[in-house]
Amino acid sequence: MQNKCPFCLGEVSEESGWLKCKSCGSFKILWHLRQQIEDGELFLENRHLVSCWLRNHKLEKSRAAPNFRSSEDVQVIISQCPTLPRERVASLFRCLVTATPELGRSAKVPMADLIAASYSKSEIECNYLLNWLKKDEYLDNYGPSDGKIACLVAPKGIDAFYSQSFGHRLTVFVSSTCFDLLDLRFELAAFLESKGHNVKLSDDPERFAVDPTDDSIETCLRNLEASDVVVCIIDRRYGGLLTSGNRDGKSATHLEVLHARSLAPPKPVFYFMRERAWHDYGLLRDNPEASVRWVEPKNPDSRSRWVTFVNDISALPEHSRSNWVTFFKASTDLKGLVSKQLFDFFNPRIAANSG
């Protein structure tokens, strides 16, 4: 085996089982998996995406170094990488804005960092995307300077970035029952995508990464892990019960919420509940035998589990997590509520990271 990085093909050193690559940073990878990638048997077309992802996360400095134990671990990272041109341009532009010291001064960024930020295979691809930004008047100009690339972000670009119309691309996992909320889920997904976000819906194969070696629930959890935030929508149904291991007796939605909380760090979860369902919850919380017409009217066992689920998310927590539930009447107001909460939560963090 050559002493090179399996993803960027650069030179690496090894220390206590860790590979140290000047471009990608430090990571662990099993010997046979490294061999398959280096030989071109796996991820031949996508290895540059992993290299870009590793470099971007190395630059963030707060991320733990990854440990690749299987091809699925590599595939999860590839699924998180932007591949559409508009997504790659947004990622590149965010890099430029966050590197801009102040309005009117150029950001000076190494070409290798720009290639990583744009998930490009080469300088040619990266320059093409930079030129795209210039043609759209988000960049005034760009060019080499002191061994780096100097990029002057235009006022139009700064305004677009901080008004959230460009560059704040989140990956949003929508968690809810599917059968009764099909139209609402797809309407919300289309709305969020119109705002520039990526959306993961388990009932839409075009919006969901599927691994043929995982069962459907494990696939859901892997897609959740690859998302920035979970939007949980609660209405009249608890959902079908799972029947294996620690999943036994829980619905997929309930399990997704628990899994999001268990991650380190926990995944942000926003809860949205239909007003009619909350009204029934108040009756059932005070009297489990209360007659209700909206929540699980024909299934007492599912109704009881639904109440337990809502108790779990709305009760004051013992530890640091949110128990805030936002109420909606219909999909028309749900869309605005979701968009506002995402902006209110993430915009200050992005601004802070830009300083």
What are the tens digits of pLDDT across the range 67-99?
A: 898 888 888 888 878 888 878 898 899 889 888
Domain ranges of the chain: 12-80, 85-162, 171-354
Considering the chain, what is the average pLDDT of its residues?
A: 86
Cα→Cα distances 341→156, 160, 266, 268, 325, Å: 25, 19, 17, 11, 11
Q: Which CATH class is domain 85-162?
A: mainly alpha
pLDDT > 60? residue 299: yes
The Cα 295–Cα 284 span in angstroms is: 10
Q: Would you state the pLDDT for residue 64?
A: 66
pLDDT > 90? residue 131: yes
Quick one: 280 exposed, middle or buried, by C-beta within 10 A (0-12, 13-18, 19+)? buried
Cα→Cα distances 349→30, 60, 153, Å: 35, 14, 21
C-alpha dihedral, 131 to 135 to 141 to 142, nearest 10° = -10
Q: Which CATH superfamily, name and number, covers 171-354? A: Toll/interleukin-1 receptor homology (TIR) domain (3.40.50.10140)
Q: Would you state the pLDDT for residue 224?
A: 93
Q: Would you state the pLDDT for residue 354?
A: 43
Confidence of residue 112 (pLDDT cuts 50, 70, 90): very high
Q: Would you state the pLDDT for residue 294?
A: 92
pLDDT > 70? residue 348: no
Confidence of residue 355 (pLDDT cuts 50, 70, 90): very low
Q: Would you state the pLDDT for residue 316?
A: 60
Q: What percent of the chain has pLDDT above 70?
A: 90
pLDDT mean over 232-236? 96
Q: Would you state the pLDDT for residue 85?
A: 85
Q: Do domains 85-162 and 171-354 have the same CATH topology?
A: no
The Cα 258–Cα 266 span in angstroms is: 10
DSSP 8-state assignment for residue 247: G
pLDDT mean over 313-323? 65
pLDDT > 60? residue 298: yes
